[in-house]
Amino acid sequence: MESNQMFKQVDRWLLLVTVLLVAIGVVMVYSASAAWAEYNFGDSTYFLKRQLLFATLGLVALTVMMNIPYQTWRPYLPLIMLICFILLIIVLIPGVGLQRGGARSWLGIGAFSVQPSEFMKLAMIGMVAHLLAVRREHMSYFGQGVFPLLLLIGTAFGLIMLQPDLGTGAVMVITAMAMIFIGGARILHFVWLGLLGVVAFALLVISAPYRLQRLTSFLDPWSDALGSGFQSIQSLYAIGPGGLVGLGFGDSRQKYYYLPEPQTDFIFAILAEEGGFITGAIVILLFSIFMWRGIRIALLIDDPFASFLAVGIVGLLLVQVMINIGVVIGMFPVTGITLPFLSYGGSSLTLMLLAVGLLLNISSQLRSV
Amino acid sequence: MKPNRKQLKRRLILMLAIGLFVSVLLIARLAYVQFYLGGWLTDLAEDSWARDVPFEAERGEIRDRHGETLATNISAPSLLVVPSQVEDPAHAAVEISSILQKAEDEVYEKITEQQSIVRINPEGRKMTPELADALRSLDLEGLYIAEDNRRYYPNGAFLSHVLGFAGIDNQGLTGLEQYYDEELSGSPGSVSFYSDAKGQRMPGMAERYVEPEDGQHVNLSVDEQVQKIIERELDIAEATYSPDGAIGIAMDPNTGGILGMSSRPDFDPEHFQDVPPEIYNQNKPVWSQYEPGSTFKIMTLAAALEEEVVDLDEDRFHDPGHIEVAGQRLRCWKKGGHGDQTFMEVVQNSCNPGFVTLGERLGEDLLFDYIHEFGFGEQTGIDLQGEGTGILFDPENVGPLEQATTAFGQGVSVTPLQQVTAVAAAVNGGYLYEPFLAMEWVDPETEDIIERKEPVMKKQVISEDTSQEVRRALEHVVAKGTGKGAFVDGYRVGGKTGTAQKSSGGRYLKDNHIVSFIGVAPMDDPEIVVYIAIDNPKDTMQFGGVVAAPIVGNVIGDSLRAMEVEPREDQLEKELDWTDTEPVEIPDVVGLPLTELHHASYPLEIQTEGTGEYVVSQSPAPGSRVEQGSTIRLYLGDKSQADD
């Protein structure tokens, strides 16, 4: 009875948008992956079936989290954090961590495996939200307020970079920094940190100039069409012909082995190819609605911890959407970041839905809507 | 706490604003890529999906001035295989190998290569239409028969050096095929199918066809008839004299258009591999350069006439058989000399001391000026590759001796085409033209003439009057002098012999000459200039007048008849020597009774056909001139028929 009541009070916009995005994702994963699935596994529904399973798992997690008060988890955050650190270390051990695409990022057996860095992303948000709430008075001081947080984030980032998985690491750092900013850190601190970042970047470029070239190659992918520009070009070859209404569902051409693994990082390219500008814009709008509802929750909730947690979840989503779609439409250098809710992938989808469950629970505790 | 709360709200709203701004940015960029860049990206993407099966353009034909085909194409399709589309390579290999007569394992290896499109060379390249049909009827996935064609030269070795030949890709390799490759080849088209990245046909996409653009046809200034006559005469000369080589050129002196050009040894363009490369690479009429000998005297003569340093009829010259120049004794070709003669006779006799004297009267500067003016020492500009420039004396090294030998054609080196072009200028009124082969370009679709070559007149070297005097002198050479062998009754042939000693390593070879003759006709209004050179003829006197002149006579006579040039009434009659007989004029005997003929004594063989007492018609026609002892045919009938 009580849980039922809660369900009525959750943010329905948020829930609706989430379910819609997951549904679009499942459909697009099928269309994008069918050719590859048939080629690699002799079963065009291979990825579809698994994505359906992940979506189900994720929605279960969402429902569970939605119905358990978010406060319940707060005492366990240090423990969760510790476990995540241990997992991040274990995954680095050759023979234990599974290597895919040059990065040792997976733990598990065969087809069913998890990415500890995905867990860390979420745990970090929770921990940072917790610390921001506890140490609010200190946040205007660098030494007592900001620095311990930076130390924590930096350590996790360092471990993730050992895999290496720059994409996930960057998403976590950017999200956490946004939370610290919202949490009251001084603008000046960010200016100094920014300068520090510029210097560090300059040093990196000086020590290995190819890095700059790799970063800027997305501006003109044709300068290295078979190397760093290959994925960008193939992505643009999908989107360009899409036009206003697209080629029609299932009629992508680039999914026929031109675009590598179109069901993960480049799912938005296939979506814009088959569904055209209209579908692409609708998806971006749905993400905007999600963001609006999320920030609204952060604004209205009294509990600072909940507020920061909501900001973190929205930030996580915003950063990933920005980078993923940015890469696909040629605004960003290619980095391995998935599109929340849409991309194929077990860990990312279930954990993202779990996070939405948390957010929904927060929304159910708003005093007045 | 209060201000903190306010700051939190401000920063949250800022974050929302940034998020919405990013969304707008993403949508704007998406629109830019899909709408603004869409067309461009679609073209690029289609190119990346398309696998082209080439569709060769048809190479333009080469034709003569009357449209007779000299080089054309015959259908020769090629086999293309898309390995990823072949369902059962083992089976396909068996079928293909049995049709193409190629080892099965080689075929299998080829059609399983990791390539988007493979060809089976050489068996599957430019096949006969029958083989192509056989392959087509296999109806196997992944096999494509691409329309293609092969160059075909219907007349074999005919005009081979000028035409050149095209290679396996229909690319011009030598001759006109190379010189005009761009115009003749057109641009290829293609049939494209869309393929996925693994080579399979992309589902649901139609093929794309890009039409090839066929090459243009070219009409040459060459006259097939004239060329055939030259080829025939060179063949006879080869058989008669077993020479080291032979060259023949015919030119229209009024435009510079080449009417015919040939040389020996020659080759069949479709089997050029059968001869050494120097044979098909060297087009001797434009490439080779050697001492011209006496034909060069025409230049000295023309210069002397233009500068009015001689009157051919009034001025006299005594030839003791030699002439002293700078302490050196230059001999005349005739032992003992020609004695006392007019300068017209000097020309007729090709008297060397006489021409040395003409050269001296001109002086070094004028003589060499005219030689340059006539185009020697530089390429003529004909539309063929590999033209020689010839070698003249360096002006700084010209002394009296060099001037003297140049005046009668020794010590200089020229190409045959240079001589023909210069002589054409000397007889056509003085106008030096740029020789050419390609006369008209023809649209392959409509057969309309797209472009017509206008003759290029470079300059006037001598006056019309001088040119007329040169023609008169050259007609004398043929009628009364060293060129009698070239005489053609009724066509007023003029010309000049040439006999040049070949040299090797700076020394003249013994009994090894290039004998030549350059002839022009008709002398009142020249229509053709013919040059024939025979390199080292065997078992004969090595004189141009003996070997080359009769060949030029045959070429001129037959060519002018083929070109339907009217015979002339008045001509300089041939001066007979003991080997010649006076020609007989055919009498008009039509209507006469047969009995009357029995009493007449014509120096002719009489052959009769039909029965009757009267002559009804005769052949040749009355007034024709024939050699003594020729046959005259009479057709007989009764009196009434004869009266009709």
Two structure tokens written together for A187: 């603008």
- The answer to whether the beta carbons of residues B642 and B590 sit under 8 Å apart is yes
Question: What's residue B599's pLDDT?
Answer: 61
- Within 8 A of A318 by CB-CB distance, chain B residues are 19, 22
CB–CB of B45 and A315 under 8 A? no
Distance of CA B227 to the CA centre of its chain: 9
CB B544 within 8 A of CB B237: no
Contact B162, B251 (CB under 8 A): no
Task: Flag if A277 and B20 touch (Cβ within 8 Å).
Answer: no
With CB atoms and an 8 Å threshold, state whether B196 touches A325.
no
The predicted model gives B6-19 an average pLDDT of 91
CB atoms within 10 A of CB A71: 13
With a CB cutoff of 8 Å and minimum separation 6, the contacts of A343 are A25, A29, A263, A264, A265, A267, A324, A349
User: Could you tell me which residue, B487 or A96, shows the higher pLDDT?
Assistant: B487
**B639 pLDDT above the threshold of 80:** no
How many inter-chain contacts (A to B, CB under 8 Å) are there? 129
Residues 1-30 (B) with a CB less than 8 A from some CB of A: 4, 7-9, 11-13, 15-16, 19-20, 22-23, 25-27, 29-30
B576-590 tens-digit pLDDT: 765 656 677 777 878
B-chain residues within 8 Å CB-CB of A220?
Answer: none
Residue B603 has pLDDT above 80, yes or no: no
Q: SS3 for A273?
A: helix
Q: Which residue has the tokens 């990013």?
A: B22
B294 is catalytic: yes
Give the distance from residue B136's alpha carbon to the nearest chain A alpha carbon, in angstroms: 29
Instruction: List the single residue in A236, A311, A326 with the smallest CB-CB distance to B12.
Output: A311
Does the pLDDT value for residue B359 go beyond 50? yes
Q: Of the candidates B9, B29, B196, which has its C-beta nearest A329's C-beta?
A: B29
Cβ <8 Å between B8 and A307: yes
**Distance of alpha carbon B20 from alpha carbon B347, whole angstroms:** 104
Inter-chain touch A240–B41, beta carbons under 8 Å: yes
Place of tokens 């604004």: A299
Tell me, what DSSP letter sits at residue B436?
B
Q: Which residue has the higher pLDDT, B238 or B209?
A: B238
Q: What is the pLDDT along chain A (369 residues), one digit of tens a residue?
A: 344 554 458 899 999 999 999 999 999 999 999 888 888 888 999 999 999 999 999 999 999 999 999 999 999 999 999 999 999 999 988 878 887 777 788 887 666 788 899 999 999 999 999 999 988 888 878 888 888 899 999 999 999 988 888 888 889 999 999 999 998 888 888 888 888 888 887 887 777 777 677 677 777 888 777 777 888 889 999 999 999 999 889 888 888 888 888 999 999 999 999 999 999 999 999 999 999 999 999 999 989 999 999 999 999 999 999 999 999 998 888 888 899 999 998 888 999 999 999 999 999 998 754
Cα separation, B517 vs B537, in Å, equals 14
CB contact under 8 A, A244 and B194: no
Angstrom distance (rounded) from CA B467 to CA B469: 5
Residue B498 has pLDDT above 60, yes or no: yes
Contact A258 B48 (CB under 8 A): yes
- Which of A 153-212 lie inside 8 A of B, CB atoms? 178, 181-184
Is residue A282 within 8 angstroms of chain B, CB to CB? no
Q: Which residues of A touch B31 (CB under 8 A)?
A: 277, 281
Q: Which of B378, B179, B423, B385 is nearest to B283 (CA)?
A: B385
Q: How many CA atoms lie within 13 A of B47 on its CB side?
A: 6
Contact B153, B160 (CB under 8 A): yes
B202 touches chain A (CB under 8 A): yes
pLDDT at residue B465 is higher than 90: yes
- Inter-residue contact B148 to B78 (CB < 8 Å): yes
| Chain A residues inside the 8 Å CB shell of B19 | 288, 291, 295, 314, 318
> A312-340 pLDDT, tens per residue?
999 999 999 999 999 999 888 888 889 99
User: What one-character DSSP code corresponds to residue B50?
Assistant: E
Contact A240 B197 (CB under 8 A): no
Contacts of B208 in chain A (CB under 8 A): none
Whether this model's pTM surpasses 0.90? no
**Contact: B198, A39; criterion CB under 8 Å:** yes
pLDDT of the residue at A369: 45
Q: Which of B11, B33, B195, B200 to mutate to test the interface with A (most CBs of A within 10 A)?
A: B33
Residues of chain A with Cβ-Cβ distance to B48 below 8 Å are 237, 258
* Contact criterion met (CB < 8 Å) for A288 and B12: no
Interface with B, mutate which of A237, A271, A278 (most B CBs under 10 A): A237
Question: For residue range B244-262, what is the model confidence (pLDDT) as tens digits?
Answer: 999 999 999 999 999 999 9
Poorest-pLDDT segment among B9-23, B87-101, B426-440, B500-514 = B500-514
pLDDT-derived band at B4 (thresholds 50, 70, 90) equals: confident
Is the Cβ of A112 closer than 8 Å to some Cβ of chain B? Answer: no
Which of A240, A280, A322 is closest, CB to CB, to B37? A240
Would you state the structure tokens that stand for residue B14, as one six-digit string?
């800022």
Which of B346, B348, B393 lies closest to B368, judged by CA? B393
**A329–B30: do the CB atoms touch at under 8 Å?**
yes
3-state DSSP assignment of residue A320: helix
User: What was the pLDDT predicted at A145?
Assistant: 81
> Looking at the predicted structure, is the pLDDT value of residue B640 above 90?
no
| Closest listed residue to residue B579, CA positions, set B550, B548, B608 | B550
Per DSSP, which regions of B78-200 are E strands?
Answer: 78-81, 118-119, 143-146, 149-152, 189-194
Query: Which runs of consecutive H residues, i.e. helices, occur in chain A?
Result: 2-9, 12-41, 46-67, 77-90, 116-134, 147-161, 166-182, 187-207, 210-216, 230-239, 267-300, 304-328, 346-364
Indicate the average pLDDT of chain B.
88
The pLDDT assigned to B168 comes to 80
Q: Percentage of chain B surpassing pLDDT 90? A: 45
Active-site residue (options: B78, B195, B294, B467): B294
pLDDT at B396: 83
ipTM of the complex as predicted: 0.92
Nearest to B344 by CA among B302, B316, B377: B316
Burial class (CB in 10 A: 0-12, 13-18, 19+), A190: middle
> What is the C-alpha to C-alpha distance for residues A14 and A20, in angstroms, rounded to an integer?
10
Cβ(B79)–Cβ(B135) below 8 Å: yes
Contacts 24+ apart (CB under 8 A), A7-12: A7/A66, A7/A67, A7/A364, A9/A363, A9/A364, A9/A366, A9/A369, A10/A66, A10/A360, A10/A361, A10/A363, A10/A364, A11/A293, A11/A296, A11/A297, A11/A359, A11/A360, A11/A363
